[in-house]
Amino acid sequence: MSFDRSIKIAPSILSADFANFGQEIQAIEAQGADWVHVDVMDGHFVPNLTFGPPAVKAFRPHVKTFMDVHLMIAPVDPYIEAYADAGADMIVAHYEAGPHPHRTLQAIKATGTKAGISLNPGTPASVIEHLLPLCDMVLVMSVNPGFGGQKFIPSSVEKVRQVREMIGDRDIHIQVDGGVDPTTIGPLVEAGADCFVAGSAVFKGGSVDTPEVYGDNIRALRAAAKAAQG
């Protein structure tokens, strides 16, 4: 995948119908999703339990765009290879998940997978400055990780701006996850983010039988983002 800083909408399948993952993935891609976002939670690092490597492997044949796998787990290093083998295009680990985030990023890159680092709301942007040479993406959590439907944390906008300044002209995406909707996406675009995880903002009101609703929701997000670009 060549690098570009165009707006990317990455629906989180955590908000999809769990009985129809294959069809849901196909539906959101057909309706304009740029990436498919997979939230992996372990019930330890975060208060929820979701997808192991076999589930991600099952999703893979249905994903025709780009699958980024967000590992909200600790420890994270022992599981990197399994998620890479399952078909992740990008693996994102949390800065807070272990004592050696640099080593974690090295381990992800060693699998041939793109690597990202994620920051919880209480973690300052400055901690990743020396990790950026190993990063393909920085994920700024705009809610506390662990479950969907939370309210957007406004200070995330300033954190995105700080990350963007640190990145400079390097080919590193800035992703935001948590409370992203047409009312919050604009300030994030202005601050420098280019990739947006959206769960309920994409899936609300739709289904595999009415996928056009997903399309309407994705277009609303994209329109709000483009309006912020001027």
Q: Which residues are catalytic?
A: 39, 177
Contact 173, 137 (CB under 8 A): yes
Q: Per-residue b/e over 120-131, b at no fewer than 16 CB within 10 Å?
A: beebebeebeeb
Q: For residue 114, what are the β-bridge partners?
A: 90
Q: How far is CA 148 from CA 10, 28, 54, 206, in A?
A: 14, 18, 22, 17
Could you give the count of Cα atoms lying within 13 Å of 160 in the half-sphere of its Cβ? 27
- Comparing C-alpha atoms, which of 43, 57, 175, 161 is closest to residue 119? 175
Angle between helices 21-30 and 212-229 (to 10 degrees): 50
User: What's the N-to-C CA distance of the chain in angstroms?
Assistant: 26
CA 212 to CA 31: how far, in whole Å? Answer: 7
Report the C-alpha gap between 214 and 28 in whole angstroms: 6
- Tokens 């701006």 correspond to 161
Position of tokens 């047409």? 182
CA-to-CA distance for 124 and 173, rounded, in angstroms? 18
